[in-house]
């Protein structure tokens, strides 16, 4: 049995190891380095806890104990094929077509993928420069273009899940005024791009949204927020900021972060009260020479019950400006309030919209075609076991 697995995340990795050990001929199509979102999160939140097969595991432990051994196994067995899968369909069988007396599995799946031959070409160029010299620059340059190829399989497991398109920051999941125009030019960062943004030389940040990515963005800003007195963070959310996220670990870490900020602010106020009393007790002739202590401002300002209505840049001022408003029907915000928040960067953590990753020519109920997504990580082995049972109803186990 020849089995294609599409993806580079943990579900694809563990599936490839499992079915290879069962005796299937496995090919894992990977567009990016093995590890997927786990590799990304590991660089930022190694202590993050994730649910996996009925237990809570730290991300660093899941990586070292479960994924790294599976990746090493896959690489040793040479199960991977580099390339971006463009579409999956039956070789010849149309969706409405029936083969009399046979299952649709009679016709193989065709996995079409894109391959960039650049690395192989450069290697050949080093080994045989004279041959390429004879071909001419125009021919050589044309070989750098990606080409489509295909391979046929009995079974296909799509372990990439759905694509993710970042949600805009406006109300009702729509763009705020000017957001679309400024998206590629202003200091606005969405979802994963938030973590590519350097906070160096930034004094103020506006965070919009109440998703898991917004919670992670809050935690990203924690060290920066306390690093200098002038650093401030404004969090804009249409809902109650204490509403839980979809992740127990995030709930705990965000609550601890907010509590730390409150404690820090209380200490700042105590210091200010002491200084202001000392300043007031000074003789008048001394007081005029001593600056009045500046009252501290909260480093984290939470605007709950607000929506972003517009974002703007000004010709005569640096940064980006976020206009937020609250309606008259939310109890957790002032009625019909309007504010403008200046910032050096806007982090948009409003979640994402599922989008199709590639053209698919298979039916929704196509036998032998399976889809796994990130939501199944908690029950990873259970999901793989169900696929195994289904496949074994079509094929016998290898001896």
E strand or H helix at 234: strand 232-237
Between 109 and 121, the higher pLDDT residue: 109
Q: Which letter does DSSP use for residue 292 in this model?
A: P
Number of other residues whose CB lies within 10 A of the CB of residue 396: 8
Contact 365, 235 (CB under 8 A): no
Cα separation, 385 vs 366, in Å, equals 19
Lowest mean pLDDT among 19-23, 70-74, 180-184, 302-306: 180-184
SS3 assignment, position 190: strand
Contact 28, 35 (CB under 8 A): no
How do residues 112-159 score in pLDDT, each as one tens digit? 998 876 655 555 666 666 655 655 555 555 556 678 899 999 999 999
Say how many CA atoms lie within 13 Å of 44 toward its Cβ. Answer: 21
Residue 102 CA, distance from chain mean position = 42
Binned at pLDDT 50, 70 and 90, residue 171 comes out as very high
Cα separation, 24 vs 1, in Å, equals 5
Question: Could you tell me which residues are beta bridge partners of residue 370?
Answer: 157
Cα separation, 3 vs 205, in Å, equals 47
> Which phi and psi angles does 239 have, rounded to 5°?
-110, 180
How do residues 80-98 score in pLDDT, each as one tens digit? 998 889 999 999 999 899 9
Cα separation, 61 vs 156, in Å, equals 30
SS3 assignment, position 86: strand
Number of other residues whose CB lies within 10 A of the CB of residue 325: 16
The CATH superfamily holding the domain 166-352 is FAD/NAD(P)-binding domain (3.50.50.60)
What is the per-residue pLDDT for 19?
A: 96
> Which phi and psi angles does 285 have, rounded to 5°?
-70, -25
Q: What are 353's two structure tokens?
A: 């919209």
Distance, first Cα to last Cα, the chain:
12
Between 244 and 132, the higher pLDDT residue: 244
What would the mean pLDDT of 227-246 be, rounded to a whole number? Answer: 94
Kindly list the domain boundaries of the chain, sorted by start residue: 2-162+356-392, 166-352
Residue 345 CA, distance from chain mean position = 19
Tell whether the model's pLDDT for residue 398 goes beyond 60: no
Say how many CA atoms lie within 13 Å of 102 toward its Cβ. Answer: 10
Please name which of 356, 282, 288, 342 lies closest in space to residue 311, comparing C-alpha atoms: 342
Q: Give CB contacts under 8 A, 24+ apart, made by 146-149.
A: 146/114, 146/115, 146/116, 146/117, 147/114, 147/115, 147/117, 148/86, 148/112, 148/113, 148/114, 148/115, 149/83, 149/112, 149/113, 149/114, 149/115
Evaluate whether 2-162+356-392 and 166-352 have a shared fold. Answer: yes
Question: Could you tell me which residues are beta bridge partners of residue 314?
Answer: 317
Q: 2-162+356-392: which CATH topology?
A: FAD/NAD(P)-binding domain (3.50.50)
How do residues 340-396 score in pLDDT, each as one tens digit? 999 999 999 998 876 665 556 788 889 999 988 766 777 888 889 999 999 988 876
Residues in the chain, total: 399
Cα separation, 195 vs 242, in Å, equals 23
* Dihedral over alpha carbons 91, 95, 96, 102 (to 10 degrees): 50
User: Where do we find the tokens 């820090």?
Assistant: 264
Query: Taking CA 397 as the corner, what is the angle to CA 2 and CA 78, rounded to the nearest 5 degrees?
Result: 40
């Amino acid at each position: 049995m020849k089995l294609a697995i599409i993806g580079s995340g943990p579900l694809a990795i563990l599936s490839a190891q499992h079915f290879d050990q069962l005796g299937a001929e496995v090919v894992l199509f990977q567009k990016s380095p093995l590890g997927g979102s786990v590799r990304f999160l590991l660089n930022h939140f190694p202590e993050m806890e994730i649910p996996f097969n009925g237990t809570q595991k730290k991300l660093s432990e899941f990586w070292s104990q479960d994924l790294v051994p599976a990746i090493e196994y896959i690489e040793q067995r040479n199960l991977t094929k580099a390339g971006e899968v463009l579409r999956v369909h039956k070789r010849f069988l149309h969706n409405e077509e029936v083969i009399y007396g046979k299952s649709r599995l009679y016709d193989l799946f065709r996995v079409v993928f894109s391959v960039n031959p650049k690395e192989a070409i450069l290697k050949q160029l080093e080994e045989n420069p004279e041959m390429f010299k004879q071909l001419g620059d125009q021919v050589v340059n044309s070989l750098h273009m990606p080409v489509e190829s295909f391979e046929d399989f009995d079974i296909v497991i799509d372990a990439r899940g759905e694509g993710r398109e970042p949600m805009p920051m406006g109300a009702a999941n729509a763009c705020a005024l000017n957001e679309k125009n400024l998206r590629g030019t202003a200091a606005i960062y969405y979802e994963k791009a938030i973590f590519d943004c350097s906070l160096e030389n930034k004094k103020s940040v506006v965070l919009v949204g109440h998703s898991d990515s917004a919670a992670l963005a809050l935690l990203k800003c924690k060290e920066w927020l306390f690093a200098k007195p002038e650093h401030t963070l404004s969090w804009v959310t249409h809902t109650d900021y204490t509403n839980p996220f979809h992740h127990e670990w995030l709930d705990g870490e965000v609550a601890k972060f907010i509590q730390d900020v409150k404690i820090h602010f209380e200490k700042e106020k105590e210091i200010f009260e002491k200084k202001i009393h000392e300043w007031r007790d000074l003789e008048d002739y001394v007081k005029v020479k001593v600056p009045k202590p500046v009252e501290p401002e909260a480093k984290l300002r939470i605007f709950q019950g607000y929506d972003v209505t517009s974002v703007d840049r000004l010709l005569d001022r640096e940064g980006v400006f976020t206009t937020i408003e609250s309606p008259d029907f939310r109890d957790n915000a002032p009625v019909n309030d309007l504010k403008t928040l200046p910032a050096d960067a806007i982090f948009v953590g409003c979640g994402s919209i599922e989008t199709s990753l590639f053209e698919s020519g298979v039916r929704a109920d196509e036998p032998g075609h399976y889809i796994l997504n990130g939501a199944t990580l908690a029950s990873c082995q259970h999901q793989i076991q169900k696929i195994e049972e289904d496949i074994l109803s079509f094929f016998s186990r290898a001896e």
